[in-house]
Chain A
Amino acid sequence: MLAEQQMWRYRFAKTFRRGLLYAVLIAGALVMMLPFVWMVTSSIKAPHEITLRTIQWLPAVPQWENYKVAWEAAPFDIYFKNSFIIALTVMGLDVVFSALAAYAFAKLNFFGKNFLFLLFLGTMMIPGEVMLIPNYITMVNFGWIDTYASLIVPWTVSVFSIFLLRQFFLSIPNELFEAAILDGCGKFAYLIKVMLPLSKPALVTVMLFKFIGSWNSFLWVLIMTNTPAMRTIPVGLTYFVSDVGAYYNYLMAASTFAMAPILILFLLLQKQFIQGIARTGLKG
Chain B
Amino acid sequence: MVVINIILYSLFAILVGLIFMGIGRKVSARMHLRYGPPFYQSILDIFKLMSRKSFTHNFVMDLGMVMALAGLLGTMLYVPIAGHSAFISNSNIIVIMYLMAIGSLGMAMAVTASGNPNATIGISRALTMMLGYEIPFFIIVLGLIISNNSSSISVIAASQAGSIWNWNIWHMPLGYIAMEITLQAMMGEKPFDAMIAPAEVASGPMVELSGKYLGLGLLTHAVSIFVETGLMVNFFFGGGSNPIDFVIKQLGIYLIAVIFDNIFPRYKIEQAVKFLWIFPTGIAVVQLLLLAF
The answer to whether A and B interact is: no
Chain B residues packing against A (C-beta within 8 Å) = none
Task: Report A's interface with B, CB cutoff 8 A.
Answer: none
